[in-house]
Structure 1
Amino acid sequence: MQIRHALTQTSQPVSLIVNNEKSNTRNIGMNPATRLILTILCWSPSLLTAQQLALKTNIPALAVRVPNLSMEVTLGPSLTLDVAGMYNPFQVSETKKWKLWSLQPEIRYWLCKPYSGTFIGVHGGVGQFNMGGIGGSVDLGSLGQFEYNALKEHRAQGSFWNAGLSIGRHWILSPRWGLEGTIGLGYGRIHYERFRCVHCGESMGSGDKPYYGPTRAALSLVYMIN
């Protein structure tokens, strides 16, 4: 939602660049720094000996075919660290592209105790995207049709970062399983370049736009490891 909202405010083209075909299919896989951060988080002895460890997946993201995984560890009596990651290297079809990765750590303060009840958090995030051929409409009943056609005929590729505050709640379903909902608001920036079609390399210009609004949203299935 954040990416699409900013891209609807299309600026005038500032350059016209014709790239070769190879540039159309650039891989937006995670850079070495991101891989290193994930490796440290997954294998640090301090995390492996934490009091509690939870693995989660964001159900709405899975519904739109974006693989994702989150890990949360206990830091103290009321504090936890949550690290959420998304990575989708797959192209939807010949006419649609929906590639992205993102990493979003968050420090949480629990009003009761970790993994039970309400929490508030401070988060930040970074990511890259390569999207095109995405558009359509949603029937809002008496409010009419909501259309999102900013990338229906075009492609956008770029990066983003954000930071914000969030609030959420964890519901215990069993000793091992739980459900978590969270929403966050904040500020971010999106840097992107628009291309004339999904596969071609003809640039329509670039932009760098600020963003105010939702920076985090998830309804996650939680599994407690220890």
Structure 2
Amino acid sequence: MQQEPQQPQNPQKVQQKKPRIQTSADENEIVFKPLTETDKKPEAASRKGTASKEEVATKKVVTTKKAVTTKKEKGNHSERYMALKSNIAYDAAGLPNLAFEMQFSKHISVELPVICSFWDISQKHAVRTVAIQPEGRWWLKQLGAGHFFGVHAHVAWFNVKWQKDRYQNTDRPLLGAGVSYGYLLPLSKHWGAEFSLGAGYAHIKYNTYYNIDNGAQIGTETRNYWGITRVGLSLSYRF
């Protein structure tokens, strides 16, 4: 039985069926299939996804840089205001002192200064004392900068020699309270200069002795003092 000759296939169909690869060594038989809309969508989606990841990464870097910049702008300070101080005015008068201040709310801080002296100026002159003067402060704008108002109390134990007499507190110390105003001028990220002046009341009861070794007691006196109770010219270091 004679087989019918096979009809040649339609070149267009062959061209459509050929994949997008090289089918032989002959360059004329390299056929490429055009991309359809379906083929383009995954590539577009892939590009979109890649761009989104890059954008997210960029945003993270920018956010991190902003956080670091913000931290630097704050001067690497502690979140809560804390400072260590020394009153130069008292130091110059021979009264070494040290104060610590801490923030308790947005506008309120508490300072605790300790003042002491254990030296004799001369044979007839000496000031030996230990005193504390806690103060609560209200800062008008920002803690650690600018104007503030304070309310303070004072407690002191003393033994003072002056000329022919020596004065010493009785069984209870000096007690009193007052109000003050001050201003802190920032000098750098951590350092500042503080100026303050306070006035108030102090109740003093003391014994008087002859200013000689084992001098006899002359008498006991009581005084109510109204006037300057606080003078500050301090150098401050902020943590």
Give TM class, smaller chain: 0.5 to 0.7
Structure 2 match to 1:82: 111
Contact 1:109 1:119 in 2 (8 A): yes
* Equivalent AA in structure 1 for residue 165 of structure 2: H
Q: Deviations over 1:129-188 (max 9, x none)?
A: 11113xxxxxxxxxxxxxxxxxx2211011311101111000111111101011111111
| 5+ residue gaps, structure 1 | 1-48, 134-151
Shift in Å, 1:198: 4.6
One of 161, 186, 192 as aligned partner of 1:172: 186
Call closer, same or farther: CA 1:170–1:131 in 2, change over 3 Å. same
* Equivalent AA in structure 1 for residue 186 of structure 2: I
Contact 2:185 2:194 in 1 (8 A): yes
Shift in Å, 1:50: 7.0
Structure label with greater radius of gyration = 2
TM-score by length of 1: 0.67
CA distance in 2: counterparts of 1:57 and 1:92, whole angstroms: 21
Answer yes or no: is 1:58 the counterpart of 2:87. Answer: yes
| 5+ residue gaps, structure 2 | 1-77
Answer yes or no: is 1:113 the counterpart of 2:142. Answer: yes
Contact 2:124 2:164 in 1 (8 A): no
Contact 1:102 1:126 in 2 (8 A): yes
Structure 2 match to 1:155: 166
Shift in Å, 1:96: 2.1
What is the total number of aligned residue pairs between the two structures?
159
Structure 1 match to 2:121: 92
Structure 2 match to 1:124: 153
Identity across the alignment (%): 32
TM-score by length of 2: 0.64
Structure with the higher fraction of residues in helix conformation:
2
CA distance in 2: counterparts of 1:90 and 1:186, whole angstroms: 28
Structure 1 match to 2:57: none
Structure 2 match to 1:41: none
- Three-state SS of the structure 2 residue aligned to 1:60 is helix
CA distance in 1: counterparts of 2:182 and 2:95, whole angstroms: 22
Contact 1:73 1:81 in 2 (8 A): yes
* Equivalent AA in structure 1 for residue 88 of structure 2: I
Shift in Å, 1:196: 1.5
Which gives a bigger RCO, structure 1 or 2 (Cα 8 Å, sep 6+)? 1
CA distance in 1: counterparts of 2:195 and 2:210, whole angstroms: 38
Answer yes or no: is 1:187 the counterpart of 2:198. Answer: no
Ranges of 4+ aligned residues in structure 1 off by more than 4 Å:
none
* Equivalent AA in structure 1 for residue 196 of structure 2: T
Contact 1:50 1:74 in 2 (8 A): no
CA distance in 1: counterparts of 2:193 and 2:232, whole angstroms: 10
Call closer, same or farther: CA 1:132–1:50 in 2, change over 3 Å. farther
Call closer, same or farther: CA 1:53–1:114 in 2, change over 3 Å. same
Call closer, same or farther: CA 1:201–1:195 in 2, change over 3 Å. same
Structure 1 match to 2:232: 218
Contact 1:96 1:198 in 2 (8 A): no
